[in-house]
Amino acid sequence: MKFVLRGREPRWVAPTAVLVAVAVTVALTALPIRLAGANPVAAFERYLLTPLSSVNGLHEVLLTATPLMFTGIAVAIAFRAGYWNIGAEGQFLLGAVGTTWVGTTWADLPAPVALPLGFVAGAVGGAVWALAPAWLKRRAGIDEVVTTLLLNPVALLVVQGLLNGPWRNSATGFTDSDRLGSGFDLPPLIPDSRVHWGFAVALAVILVAGVVLTRTATGVRVRAAGQAPQAAAFSGIDVDRVQFRAALVSGGVAGLGGASTVMGVQHQLTSGISNSYGYTGVIVATLGGLGAIGVLLVSLLLGDISVGAQNVSLVLQVPTQLGAIFSALLMLAVLSAMSWRRYRVQWRRPRPATTPEPAQETG
Amino acid sequence: MSLNLLALLGAMLTIATPLIWAGVGELVVERTGVLNLGIEGTMYLGAFVGFLVALRTGSPWLGLLAAVASGVVAGVLMGLFAVTLGLNQHVSGLGLTLLLIAVCEFTFRMLYAGERPTLDTKFDVLLPGVEVLDQHWLTYVAFLVLAPGSWWVLRSTGAGYRLRAVGESFEAADVAGISVSGVRYAALMVGGAFMAVGGAFLTLSVLGSFTLDIINGRGWVCIALVIFARWRVWPAVCGALIFAGTDALQLQLAITPAFGDVPRELMLALPYLAVIVALAVWGRSVRYPGSYLKAHRRA
Amino acid sequence: MTPQRAGADADPARGRALLELAGVTKRFGDLVANDDVSLSVGAGEVVAMLGENGAGKSTLMKIAYGLVRPDAGELRVDGRPVQLGSPRDAMRAGIGMVTQEFSLVETMTVSENVALSAVGLGRVDAAANRRRVMAAMERLGVQIEPERLVATLSIGERQRVEIVKALFHDCRVLILDEPTAVLTPQDVRSLFETIARLRTDGLGVLFVSHKLREVAEISDRVVVLRRGRMVGDRPTASVDEAELAALMMGGAASAAAAPAGPSQSRAGAVADPVGGAVGLGVETRPTAGPAEARPEPVLRLTDLGVSTGRRALLSGISLTVGAGEIVGIAGISGNGQTELVDVLAGVRPASSGTVHVAGRDLTRADVATRLAAGLGRLTEDRRGSLVPQMSVEHNLVLEDLPRFTSRGLLDRGAVRRHAEQLIERFDIRARPGDPVATLSGGNMQKVLLARSLVREPRVLVVAQPTRGLDVGSYAYVHEQLAALRDRGAGVLVVSEDLDELRGLCDRVAVLFRGRIVGELPIAEASSERLGLMMTGVEVAT
């Protein structure tokens, strides 16, 4: 048996690869579930199905998916342009900071002004945090992977510094900020649920990003710059500028995620406001194939698992980190399975092996 | 106000130690053209496994051994993704980090939910009471064995030749009969072991306990150091000392009354910012290894 | 098995087969690179392997060196079957190879490179190593300081290091894959002397080439590969160039050339790539005599220069291309051609001088302005001008995106129609939605040709337009360039293939060390004269 390059890929290959990857992921995560003393089958039912089986659960899935939609599409935009923004975590946090600043400074603003302002402030916060790496990349050719990564712990320190210092809650003295003005509360999107208008904004952002990436000249330029920068430059596309702008847009969109979470869920800044949403965004974008629909579907899937993980942790005492294990494993498994797509298995016995003659010593 | 320079120097050496272990590990890996973003997770894994085994057996030595083994395993995993399967190194490395951290946190929560266990015996410092030199043995090894040793191996041994050849041009290495995958796997395993030791140093030598934010971006710092050092050992050590010096300085300043008003978080952020500034100043237009980020494929 | 070596010394021509390939077949996906190929090389014998680009020569060589595994067939060394899983196995079996793209590590020294495949894992004794490298160089008559970094060596020097490297592990069969493609005539001369020396030493040499004249000069036996199949195996003394050319092209050449235009001579298409003096352009060239007044220049370069740091890569380039004229740039690779094309294409800035297209100064213009001013480009790096994963239709509009945008969105219907038209007109064998990466080299070149020609450029800058193309595409590209010229545009062709230039151009200028050392009307541009100018021996005025 050996692996041979395929000439052309049949249609069934990609979906099969994904199914195989899912099966492998499920099999591998069954082990820690067992170790935690739970029945894997019952646990998986709770991870995947229980959240979808009730209206309330479905609402929670949409709510949990919302920040992932923002960070996922943010990372996808940057990756499409060939800019490796791994700093969505920090950009998300700074978005939250921006929104909290306007929301506590002008707490009396009425909702029609406050909500757009809150989102704008979030986008600006995220874009500002993305600016330094993007600028260093464009002006000095400094690898953005490192700088965006390094700014993530710094962003968390910024949040903690604000909460320990100037923004410490004036009423309780806890290290949370004051509550935002009530005009900044995103109204529920679905009555009597926690799903807020941030979900609609996330959908809109994904829709716009999808249209721009696939249906416009800008999208063609972005993809050309990302896939073949040299060829793009040859055709008159300013690759550095495309990447710089994509980096800022990416940061801004991640910042919108922060804004949405502050205004829709927490209504104040807390140091745990980003539950690794930025890093998970990389998983979402990658699993979603850097496309709009993919990002949406993967966000919902991971939202589902995340809600399930809360449930399992309460009921079966399996720590919630299993959700994170699952999503990281799933990404690695899917990528691995997809890399085998290019090959087909050839069932044939190899010729009997013979060992090469040892080289002669002298000539 | 007066700074205690000797204490500063001593703290600097201690803080630099995990960065040198993990940094040299990353350097060895990157010299073969593989960017291992799994470093953060591998350090985390080393810290956790070392702690767990030391806690259960009562022996920090067994803990260290287990940490080394876990680092090798992490290296093999990265090899599976980046070498055998040829996946995108950014994404698979980050995925590995997220996976390892999640696995460690999961296990820690499962075993010690709500507790805060500490080691009964951790590694002691050598020469206690002697200022600056009262360091852990892993610190001595880092500066006196690891750094010069890896420099020498890279420069003047056949193993170093192979490493450099693969990283610079795997076509050339291939034609010279060097197994590109073999060299990359070997580097990932050795490098992974070093990274894990870097993490284990924190739990087994310094803290004697494990916290969920124990690595806190130190792995990313090492990635920056390697680029800053342009893939050379001694500049990487210098970079580690810059970071450690800034960190030690902020620790001292935090207890200096004159700086009492400066937010502690700003101080904590200083070392990261220092690394970014160092990159911006000395990391301009660096020449990356020829086969950096490339997967090797042969028909 | 040393007796056999002794026998070989006594009568090299009749040495027993050292290396044999029997029935070797290799497929890449749907493409059959080698189809049941058999071949042998004896001790003290120089075997030349001839074949056009894409005939499967490189794949076969890689199989012989363990870089590629055959799907079927057997390799034998000294009559015993061997499995070559890697170059290490090949080396152990006594096979050495100098690849087309040199496989040296630029950041390591000469002696480190040579020792690379011979050292263990432990400490390397640098001094002893240096002595061994020196000794190996002496044996070949090569003089290069072993401590120099490979990055500082010239192309010819690098090739010598490669040969030293191969001999360093006692190889008995040396494979040279297109060794002369990048060499100056002087370096070719010294390479041939080295090969002669190796033959006397009893080594078997397999020399891959597509240049008939070299083959006639250096080899004892010649084998011909066409479309992956072995079509001839003759003693060199018994064949003439015409017969070899016919073997290389086969009947397929004229058939493949059929889609080309009516004005073109099939005989010309067949003879052209192999060094025949008759070029395609001869038939299509307008009958206007040289006496006619010089046409208005559409491209004017004045004192153009490019330098990096203190090094001048191009200097004092002054040249004009008139409307309805094809001007060639000849020269050995690395004498400033790439820089010249890059400056004209707009991907590298000029450090001095000016570029005018139809009277408009484009020296500092960006790519879009250049395109708008009527400057078309077709560069040698096809993969550097196309986005491989992107579809044919998107690649075709990459330089024209605003024209296909209405109300902010790409007009997908228009993009599709545009692609369909060009696919039809330029006979591109692909569908609009296919990723460019799935196309053959010839079809990629047609996509690029279509993209630049559809704009009807006033001047087209072309580099190595036919490198790596099959005969059919070769003829087609030439015909299109000639047709563009006949429509009144100017064409600047940069090529290393003298026969191509002589067949296509009205005038030829020669680049040597970044300067134009002379310019000849085509009638005076004999290969000999151009060859002398290309090596800086003769400077025409």
3-state secondary structure of C290: coil
* Partners of residue C26 on adjacent β-strands: C34
What's the pLDDT band for B250 if we cut at 50, 70, 90?
confident
Residue A55: Cβ-neighbour burial (10 angstroms; 0-12, 13-18, 19+): exposed
B181 and chain C in contact, CB less than 8 A: no
Per-position b or e across B149-179, b if 16+ CB within 10 A of its CB: ebbebbebbbbbbbbbbbbbbbbbbbbbbbb
3-state helix, strand, coil in chain C (%, to 5): 40, 25, 35
Q: Tell me which residue has tokens 């004269």.
A: C529
Q: What is the DSSP string of A73-129?
A: HHHHHHHHTT-----HHHHHHHHHHHHHHHHHHTTT--HHHHHHHHHHHHHHHHHHH
8 Å CB contact of A165 and B263: yes
Q: A193: buried, middle or exposed (CB in 10 Å: 19+, 13-18, 0-12)?
A: middle
For the record, the structure tokens of C173 come out as: 């069969």
- pLDDT of C468: 67
Residues in C lying within 8 Å of B, measured between beta carbons: 26, 28, 65, 67-69, 86-88, 90-91, 97, 99, 101, 103-108, 112-113, 115-117, 119-124, 126, 165
Q: Is residue A1 part of a domain?
A: no
Q: Which residues of C touch A236 (CB under 8 A)?
A: 346, 366-368, 370-371, 399
Is B141 in contact with B151 (CB distance < 8 Å)? no
Q: Give the Cα separation of B184 and B163 in Å (integer).
A: 8
Say how far apart CA C126 and CA C107 lie, in whole Å: 17
User: Which residue among C78, C94, C387 sits closest to A232, beta carbon to beta carbon?
Assistant: C387
Q: Does B165 touch chain C (CB under 8 A)?
A: yes
A234·C385 Cβ contact <8 A: yes
Helix, strand, coil in percent for chain A, rounding step 5: 70, 5, 25
**Which residues are within 8 A (CB) of A221 and not within 5 positions of it... i.e. 6 or more apart?**
A232, A237, A242, C401
Whether the CB-CB separation of C168 and C136 falls below 8 Å is answered with yes
CB A261 within 8 A of CB A70: no
- Answer yes or no: do B298 and C68 touch at CB < 8 A: yes
Q: Are A129 and A190 in contact (CB under 8 A)?
A: no
Cα C150 to Cα A87, B18, C104, C297: the distances in Å are: 39, 36, 7, 43
Return the residue of C nearest to B154 by Cα.
C123
Chain B residues near residue C28 by CB distance under 8 angstroms: 299
Q: Which fold has domain B5-282?
A: ABC transporter involved in vitamin B12 uptake, BtuC (1.10.3470)
Q: What is the C-alpha separation between C332 and C351, in angstroms, rounded? A: 23
Residue with tokens 């191996």: B153
Buried b (16+ CB within 10 A) or exposed e, A257-277: bbbbbbbbbbbbbbbebbbbb
In terms of C-beta density within 10 A (0-12 exposed, 13-18 middle, 19 or more buried), how is residue C128 classed? exposed
- Closest listed residue to residue C61, CA positions, set C82, C81, C83, C90: C90
Residue B223 in contact with residue A146, Cβ under 8 Å?
yes
Q: Rounded to 5 degrees, what angle do the CA atoms A234, A240, A244 make?
A: 145
* A–B CB contacts, 8 A cutoff, strictly below: 141
Residue spans of the domains in chain B: they are 5-282
Distance set, CA A236 to CA A28, A221, A225, C345, C401 (Å): 48, 10, 11, 10, 11
Q: Test A231 with C404 for CB contact under 8 angstroms.
A: no
Instruction: Pick out chain A residues at pLDDT < 70.
Output: 1-9, 342, 344-363
Q: Within 10 A of A53 (CB to CB), how many other CB atoms are there? A: 12
**Inter-residue contact C281 to C326 (CB < 8 Å):** yes
Contact C78 A357 (CB under 8 A): yes
What are the angstrom distances between the C-alpha of C189 and each of B118, B254, C184, C186? 76, 74, 9, 5
Q: Are B135 and B259 in contact (CB under 8 A)?
A: no
- To test the contact with chain A by mutation, choose from B26, B94, B292 the residue with the greatest count of A C-beta atoms within 10 A, namely B94
CB C199 within 8 A of CB C44: yes
- The first and second tokens of residue B236, run together, are 């990487």
The pLDDT, as a whole number, for residue A3 is 63
Q: Which helix (H) or strand (E) holds C34?
A: strand C31-42
Chain mean position to CA C39: 24
Alpha-carbon gap: C365 to the closest alpha carbon of chain A (Å): 11
| Token pair 């909702």: residue | A111
Q: For B158-205, how does the pLDDT look when each residue is reduced to its tens digit (9 = 90+)? A: 999 999 999 999 888 988 889 999 999 999 999 999 999 999 999 999
Q: Which of A24, A83, A84, A150 to mutate to test the interface with B (most CBs of B within 10 A)?
A: A150
Rounded CA-CA distance C106/B237 in Å is 26
> How many structural domains is chain A composed of?
1
Find the angle CA(C335)-CA(C337)-CA(C343) to the nearest 5 degrees: 125
Question: What pLDDT was estimated at residue A7?
Answer: 54
Helix (H/G/I), strand (E/B), else coil: C130: helix
Instruction: Report pLDDT for A322.
Output: 92
On whether the CB atoms of residues A97 and A121 are closer than 8 A, the answer is no
CA nearest to A359, candidates C82, C115, C165: C82
The shortest CB-CB distance from B220 to any of A132, A150, A164 is to: A150
In A, residues 254-283, which contact B (CB 8 Å cutoff)?
276, 279-280, 282-283
Closest partner CB to A321 (pick from B92, B106, B299): B106
**Alpha-carbon gap: A276 to the closest alpha carbon of chain B (Å):** 10
- B173 to chain C, any CB pair closer than 8 A? The answer is yes
Place of tokens 């991971």: A302
Q: What is the pLDDT of residue A13?
A: 81
Q: Which of chain B's residues have a Cβ under 8 Å away from the Cβ of C151?
A: none
Amino acid letter, residue B72: V
Could you tell me the pTM of the whole model? 0.86
Q: Considering CB atoms only, which of A84, A150, A152 is closest to B90?
A: A84
Of C81, C84, C390, the CB nearest to A224: C390
3-state secondary structure B232-276: CHHHHHHHHHHHHHHHHHHHHHHCCHHHCCCCHHHHHHHHHHHHH
**Within 10 Å of residue B212's Cβ, how many Cβ atoms?**
14
| Partners of residue C377 on adjacent β-strands | C461
**Binding-face residues of A in 344-363 toward B, CB within 8 A:** none
Regions of chain C short of the pLDDT cut 70: 1-15, 29-30, 52-54, 182, 184-185, 249-296, 333, 468, 470-471, 537-541
Query: For C88, which of B177, B290, B298 is closest by C-beta distance?
Result: B177
Q: What SS3 class is residue C188?
A: helix
Work out the minimum CA distance from B108 to partner chain A, whole angstroms: 9
CA quadruple A263, A265, A266, A272: dihedral sign: negative
What per-residue string of b and e applies to C328-362 under the rule 16 or more CB within 10 Å gives b? bbbbbebbbbbbbbbbbbbbbebebbebbbbeeeb
Look at B220 and A146 and tell me if their CB atoms are within 8 Å.
yes
**DSSP secondary structure string for all residues of C423-470:** HHHTT--S-TTSBGGGS-HHHHHHHHHHHHHTT--SEEEEESTTTT--
pLDDT in tens, B35-93: 999 999 999 999 999 999 999 999 999 999 999 999 999 999 999 999 999 999 999 99
What distance in Å separates the CA atoms of residue B41 and residue B96, rounded to the nearest whole number? 7
Task: Pick B283's closest partner by Cβ from A142, A328, A329.
Answer: A142
**Which residues in chain C have Cβ-Cβ distances shorter than 8 Å to B177?**
86-88, 90-91, 117
Which residues in chain C touch residue A357, judged by CB atoms under 8 angstroms apart?
A: 77-78, 80, 82, 92-93
Domain containing A225: what range? 67-299
